[in-house]
Each structure stands twice: as C-alpha cells, then as structure tokens.
Amino acid sequence: MRSARCRSVFDTGAAIGLLGGMIGLGGADFRLPLLIGLFGFAALSAVILNKALSLVVVLVALPAHLAAVPAAEVAARWPAAVNLLAGGPLRFSGSSFLMR
C-alpha cells in the first residue's frame, strides 16, 4: 500500500511539473486542487503547503533565470525584481501567521 501511495505522489508531482513547465507556471494552480481532493489535506494546510512549494520553485528557478538574463537588465528594473523576490517569503510568513 505504501509503495502504491508513493508512486501516486511521484506520478502526480511529475504531471504537475510537466504541465507547469509547458505553460510556464510553477504548478501552483494544479497543486492546490490535488492536495485537497486527491491527498485529503485540509484547505488551510493545503494552502500553506502550496505556498511553501511555490517558494521552493522560485528559489530553484532563480539561478537559471539569473544566468539567462544579463545583470544590467535586472538592475534596470530593480523595483520589480525586489517586489517579486519579496513576495514569496512574505506569502510564506503570512501563511505561517495564519496557522497560529
């Protein structure tokens, strides 16, 4: 039973990664319904886990994006970059605050 459950989790994660990668999203729109419906998470717990996973996706993708875009381009748009970078940790800390 445990092996089948692990396989289900792996297959679901792979499908979300494939769909998210094909359309350029981190997969958050696909993860939340599956966390609640397929894996039985409570709504608040699913939202918090989804936010944490989104933060991980951003942190993993950041080095590749920084390598692909020249530093001068990023520096020219620093307010937007700071806003985007601050959004992930702030959402995660806000979700943590909700759990208290």
How many C-beta neighbours within 10 Å does residue 50 have?
24
Tokens of 95: 């979700």
pTM, two decimals, is 0.60
pLDDT given for residue 76 in this prediction = 92
- Give 13-51 pLDDT, tens digit per residue: 888 878 777 776 666 778 888 889 888 999 989 988 888
31 touches 16 (CB < 8 A): yes
Contacts 24+ apart (CB under 8 A), 45-54: 47/95, 48/95, 48/96, 48/98, 48/99, 51/91, 51/92, 51/95, 52/92, 52/95, 53/26, 53/27, 53/28, 54/26, 54/28, 54/88, 54/91
pLDDT given for residue 88 in this prediction = 67
